[in-house]
Amino acid sequence: MRVLVTGGAGFIGSQVVAEFASAGHDVTVLDALLPTAHAVAPPTQDGRLTRGDVRDPVAVDAAVAGVDLVCHQAAMVGLGRDFDDAPDYVACNDLGTAVLLAAMARHRVGRLVLAGSMVVYGEGEYHCERHGRVRPGPRRVEDLSRGAFEPRCPDCGDDLGYGLVDEDAPADPRNVYAATKLAQEHLASSWARATGGRATALRYHNVYGPGMPADTPYAGVAAFFRSALERGEAPRVFEDGRQRRDFVHVRDVAAANLAAAESLADTGEGTFRVYNVASGEPHTIGEMAEALAEAHGGPSPRVTGEFRLGDVRHITASTRRIASELGWRAAVGFDAGIREFAKAELRATG
């Protein structure tokens, strides 16, 4: 199978390229090599890499011609700095996806694996003893400012329990990045219906591992902590550190992309399916910071009580669907993955 990986020189994309190549597929890469992810140009990946932006119809048209499947990893990621980033997020993520899908339609490339994100859910799964399953709204600034971080029942104000969110949960994006990732899914679904294509969106949870970008506002929390330790500083943990996430290793994410791609040969025309990609082993952000600092041998984390609007409190995933339908399960355990990541080289950014 001839596969195009957009963003294939990046943190996740480069692992996806390696995974497809090791499985015997013919892989090509289109990457804009933006300075937010690349301080210097990466290795040529054995001639696979073409420099080009997914917003450029000419570059995309040339890259798509002759491929059997597109694995779309190119995106602007993270919460960003402020709302001034909104046009860049929409352009990179949504316009770029639209340009790509239009080229795929012209060249009759009928299979797509899309890098999605758990941010489309907003808050995770919550239940109230009196009202059952509930969807708390965005947390209020006044509550966060006084250290009241846990969402409350929107009907009675009581404490909530939390659980694993599945793919059928309603979408509720809470920031610009989340809104663009949901829009990507809608575009992919529309493309599949219009062209008879087959599309899968993989909703990544908190991906970490070797090659994460360092010292950038667009990286994930794991990179923030690891960058601080590299500088000899204590990782700064926002809120009270008890917010729960699912940290999934980048090699497991790459394996999920391969499983999704190979499954598309067996799906019907005009189909679109989403899957959570997570370890199934939730941890608090504080636990992750402690484990990383201990493995690195650096300063212990400092819980700051600070917060960011747009962050959610708890988001952990059910992986039942991807296990049963694609046969994928995470292979890298939390302890082993964190020990490796604590000593791994980070990616320099501009």
Would you say 279 and 321 are in contact if contact means Cβ atoms under 8 Å apart?
A: no
Q: What's the pLDDT at 44?
A: 52
d(CA 257, CA 20): 9
**218 is annotated as an active-site residue:** no
User: From CA 330, how far away is CA 277, in angstroms rounded?
Assistant: 8
Catalytic annotation, pick one of 177, 208, 218, 275? 177
* Strands lying side by side in the sheet with 69-72: 49-51, 26-31, 2-6, 69-72, 111-117, 198-204, 271-277
How far apart CA 112 and CA 230 sit, in angstroms, is 37
* Whether 29 contacts 50, CB under 8 Å: yes
Measured distance CA(204)–CA(206) in Å, rounded = 7
CB 100 within 8 A of CB 64: yes
- 145 SS3 class: helix
Q: Which two tokens stand for residue 142?
A: 């006044």
User: What secondary structure letter does DSSP report for 94?
Assistant: I
Element (H, E) at 302: strand 302-303
- For residue 204, the surrounding DSSP H or E stretch is strand 198-204
All domains in the chain, ordered by first residue: 2-124+165-342 (3.40.50.720)
Work out whether strand 69-72 and strand 49-51 pair parallel, antiparallel, or are unpaired. Answer: unpaired
Which pLDDT score is estimated for 137? 85
Query: What residues pair up with 35 in beta bridges, in sequence order?
Result: none
d(CA 52, CA 30) in angstroms, rounded, equals 6
pLDDT tens digits for the chain (350 residues)?
Answer: 999 999 999 999 999 999 999 999 999 999 998 876 665 666 555 568 999 999 999 999 999 999 999 999 999 987 666 788 899 999 999 999 999 999 999 999 999 999 999 999 999 999 999 999 999 988 999 999 999 999 999 999 999 999 999 999 999 998 899 999 999 999 999 999 999 999 999 999 999 999 998 877 667 889 999 999 999 999 999 999 999 999 999 999 999 999 999 999 877 788 999 999 999 999 999 999 999 999 999 999 999 999 988 789 999 999 999 999 999 999 999 999 999 999 998 887 65
